[in-house]
A = this chain, B = another copy of it.
Amino acid sequence: MRTTASTALLTDMYELTMIEGAVRSGTAERHSVFEVFARRLPAGRRYGVVAGTARILDAVEAFRFGPAEIDYLAAAGVVSEETLDRLAGYRFGGDITGYAEGEVFFPGSPVLTVEGTFADAVVLETVILSILNHDCAVAAAASRMTVAAHGRPCLEMGARRTHEAAAVAAARAAVVGGFAGTSVLEAGRSYGIRTIGTAAHSFTLLHDDEEAAFAAQVAALGPGTTLLVDTYDVPRGVERAVAAARAGGGELGAVRLDSGDLVAQAFTVREQLDALGATSTRITVTSDLDEHAIAALGAAPVDSYGVGTKLVTGSGHPTAELVYKIVAREDADGRMEEVAKASASKSSMGGHKVAGRVLDEAGRAVEELVVATSDVARARTEIERAGARALQVPLVVGGEIVEEHRGPGALEAAAQRHLDSRAELPYQAWRLSEGEPAIPTRHVDLDPRDDERRAR
């Protein structure tokens, strides 16, 4: 849902208290580089999928502390008046670069890089991670499902299984991952996604009998509609459905199966439809599907899949495990310095990073090359020299949003980009079983850090 409401309070309180502290120590204006990356992919996954980029751009634009936000912060005593004054004038003036929406990523890929003063960049952490962790999780599940579906259309129907606003974002992310439509109307309005849906069991049960329900639906939606045939008895439902469409002047568009053994039912229903002469009538299935169930239906005569719960909850991994870490910042003398947490676990690699995907002669991806440096131009040359495809694009430049990444056509472009990026991966990427990332990530540090400085 694109919103004009402020996104500034979709923020963890500590982002603001950190600004308060940084103002106190005179470090709030230090130029800083934050990076979004995943330490690992969710267990067994072969690749991640970038989604939510356009929503991030909307959220950054709407990230303003208006009177209502300032009043709340003042009343709650979150930060000092001086800091509130500063926040009241907030407008992100830095740069954001990132993997374009739809691109696949791997552990350590610098999915998004946010540069600006510390105060400007730190405060975007929560909302950027919320968007990316949610949308990337759904897009990754969607991608696995569309791989499993081998070209048969997949349709998103999970709104009722997730938060009402998350549902709208999930529909969008599903399209990035290859889905062809959604049940939820707000996603149609907000993102121009095709909406689908005809009737539930309640519609059949509302009527005195199944014939009356089917006749009403055909009268309202035409014979090309999809009739749900499993409220009472499937074979009788199929017979009545075909008859209702013909009485309405045409051949039935499709039947929907929402329960039972879908593989077995698909075969018997297809046989029955063909025996009735309804050879053009399609079969859509919608019951508790995930990528494995879709794969199992591959040999069955099914024409499309409606997916709910498992899609919107990331098929077992509802969050993409992305983090937002400071990787470089100005020192007291104005020089940029790599920084990273140094204690035992959750350590990370400092430095501003430039990334490329190394391809072999056949154009197949072989490696994610991630170069850390204070000299971005030099890193870009390294990437080029390695024959790698550059992965980062400018999304916000000096506070100005690059409209191409959220305007009309951006979602379609992201879906196509995902198809292309996924097609570039080696065969093992498309396997549904658990395994290692499809390609390894190689880190190169052009400015090896003085290790003594780590333990300050």
Contacts and interface: CB of A to CB of B under 8 A. Distances in A.
A133 B200 CA distance: 19
Interface string A318-336: 1100001110010110000
A17 B197 contact: yes
A252 interface: no
A34 to B, nearest CB: 7
Residue of A30, A165, A213, A287 contacting most chain B CB atoms (<10 Å): A165
B134 A166 contact: yes
A453 B363 CA distance: 63
A160 B126 CA distance: 5
A103 interface: no
A441 interface: no
Contacts of A216: 21-22, 24-25, 27
B198 A14 contact: yes
A163 B161 contact: no
Contact of A342 (B160, B219, B232): B232
A212 B164 CA distance: 44
A72 B159 contact: no
A367 interface: no
A13 to B, nearest CB: 4
A152 B263 CA distance: 50
A32 interface: yes
A359 interface: no
A66 to B, nearest CB: 12
Given A185-B11, A205-B326, A325-B202, A217 B21 contact: yes
Contact of A206 (B3, B22, B210, B221): B22
A162 B133 contact: yes
Contacts of A73: 185
Contacts of A22: 203, 206, 216
A22 B318 CA distance: 37
A71 to B, nearest CB: 9
A374 B27 CA distance: 70
Residue of A12, A16, A212 contacting most chain B CB atoms (<10 Å): A12
Nearest to A345: B259
A382 to B, nearest CB: 25
Interface string A1-44: 00101010111111011101111110100101010000000000
Contact of A198 (B17, B80, B168, B185): B17
Interface in A415-456: 454-456
Interface stretch (A188-196, A273-281, A296-304, A397-405): A188-196
Given A10-B184, A219-B24, A195 B78 contact: yes
A189 B5 CA distance: 14
Contacts of A201: 325-326, 341
Nearest to A215: B25
Closest 10 CB pairs of A and B: A14-B197, A25-B216, A163-B166, A129-B160, A165-B165, A13-B197, A130-B164, A202-B326, A9-B186, A134-B163
Given A32-B206, A166-B166, A209-B456, 4 more contacts: A12-B184, A21-B213, A127-B164, A309-B319
17 contacts: A9-B184, A11-B186, A13-B188, A13-B197, A14-B198, A14-B200, A21-B216, A59-B164, A73-B185, A126-B160, A127-B164, A131-B164, A160-B324, A162-B166, A163-B170, A205-B339, A230-B343
